[in-house]
Every structure is written in structure tokens, then in C-alpha cells.
Structure 1
Amino acid sequence: MEKLNQNQRIILSLYILWTFMHLIFLTIAERDSPDYFWPFQIGQNRTILEAIPVFYDFSEFLVYVGSPIIIYIIYILIKKKN
């Protein structure tokens, strides 16, 4: 942690917060629902937050937590080439 600069510490802190938020979503989810992808298909006239317990599952967790890691790795690889 000592080798991280200020920007990297901020990014890591935000990512930890982001992951924690999605862990909470995954924990309060009632069931796995592969029929919908939260929040794009919330269905049944629900708001985005009302749909979390019904439609959020492990696939959303992987996408929303894994995507920032992949984007950051691509950024680092492109930065090293320049």
C-alpha cells in the first residue's frame, strides 16, 4: 500500500466501496433470476432500487465488479506502451 500514489489510493478506495455496495446487493437478493439483467430490465413497473432484491444475481455481480478491473488492466497496458 505504501507504493501506491495518491490517485491509485483514491481509485482503490472507490473500487472497494463499489465492491462492498454490490456485495450488499448480492446479499439482499432473494433469488437468482437469469431472466432479467439489473437495472436494464427491471420489469413489472418497479423502480431500480425495488428491483434489486428480485432481479440482482451473481451474473450482475460479476459484470459490475469485474468490469472495472478489466478496464483498469487495459488502461495500465495502454499506458505502458506509450
Structure 2
Amino acid sequence: MAAGRLVARAGDITVRMSGVLDRRWVDVPEFELGGRIESLNFVVGPCAHGQISVAGRSLPGAVVNYDIPDRPWTSAYLSWGETWRA
């Protein structure tokens, strides 16, 4: 992954995301997972652009921008350094 950009491929599926709008730390001290409480933290980067293609054909749809003042959020985002603690 280049800075602020992702291209991931699996078989004939390609996912592309770019245009990181923000970076922020997320800490969820009590996250329920399979009936247990775990602690989760990660850095998230909402992206302005995203595309999924199958066998070279783009799927319909677009990234949704939720227009949250001072905290951009979209339906496409990258996550860095995810950590789970039991």
C-alpha cells in the first residue's frame, strides 16, 4: 500500500481506494466479540475514492460521503494497525 492508497487483488476481484480525507485513532475498550468482551483500537482513514471490479468490469455504485463537519467520514476507509486485547 502506498501512502494513502490501496490496491488489493484476489483472483479476478480488484479493490481500489484513495484520497485519504482524515486519519484518527479509534479506541473501543469494550467490544463484544463472540460473546466475549475484547478491547480494540486502530487508526482509520476515510477515503474520497473507491472502486471494486470483477474480471476487469467495475461494479456499480459510488463512495458515500457522510458530511460530518470537522470529521470526514465515507463508506470507503482504510484501517491501519488494528490491535485486539483480551
Q: Is TM more than 0.5 here? A: no
**Normalised TM-score (structure 1):** 0.23
Q: Which has the higher strand share?
A: 2
**Normalised TM-score (structure 2):** 0.22
Find the structure with the greater CA-based Rg. 1
Q: Which has the higher helix share?
A: 1
